[in-house]
Structures are given as structure tokens and as C-alpha cells.
Amino acid sequence: MTGKYFSEAEQGVLLAAMDRVIKLIINIDLNASPRVIDRHELEKLRHSRAKLISMAARLSPPKRYSHVFSIAFSLETTKACKADDEDDWPTQQELLEAIQARTANLVANNEVVEAVGAPYDTEELS
């Protein structure tokens, strides 16, 4: 396996192996009559089947989603934060320090999930 998922060549090998296992499981042999599978063969088939199912799950990547969350924080300044006057807003440095302090506090108190809550928007990625 070259990465997290199978290459096209590896998928071909896997599908051929699945086909052989399926034929064994249902005893299809066009040139012979059906035979009885002993306990050892059955255990090997079960093991192969479990392995193939696990491998098949990696044939294609799982669906991916993009979630939008928000986190609240507070900041004390001498600014009035008038909507139409950006010069009366906190500086970037003040905002970053407040965000960092809030994040550190949430992590220290194990409250990240509670503070963030559910996403307010989610979309499936293509």
C-alpha cells in the first residue's frame, strides 16, 4: 500500500482476491462438483474475509466536511468600539492576547467543547 488509500494497481489485486474468496465461499468450481470445506479451510476463509473487508474500507476516502464554529472572548480596553470608527477598536495585538488567554483558560479547565458548542454551519466537501 502506497499511502492511506490503495493505488489503482492495488485495487485490482484486491478485487481479484475478493473474487477468489467469494468463489471459494460459495463453492463455485465449474470443473468439479461441490466439496465439503473442513474447519481449517473455513477458518482461513473467515480470516481472509475479515482482512478483505478491512482493506475494502480503504478503497475510497471517507466523506469530508467543513464546519464553522465560533468562540466568544472578552477584552477590557479604553476603547468604545464604535462600529463606524476602526481607530476606536482594540488593536490586533490586544485581540490576539485576549484570544490566547481565553484559549489557554479553556484548555486548562477542559471546557473547549462546552465553550465552542455545535457548529453553526456545516457543508460536505467535494
By three-state DSSP, how is residue 101 classified?
helix
Domain ranges of the chain: 8-56, 65-124
Q: Give pLDDT tens digits for 41-79.
A: 777 777 777 777 777 666 667 788 999 999 999 999 998
Which residue blocks in the chain are alpha helix, DSSP H?
8-25, 39-56, 92-108, 112-116
Residue 101's pLDDT is 96
Query: ∠ at Cα 17 (43, 20), nearest 5°?
Result: 70
pTM of the model: 0.50
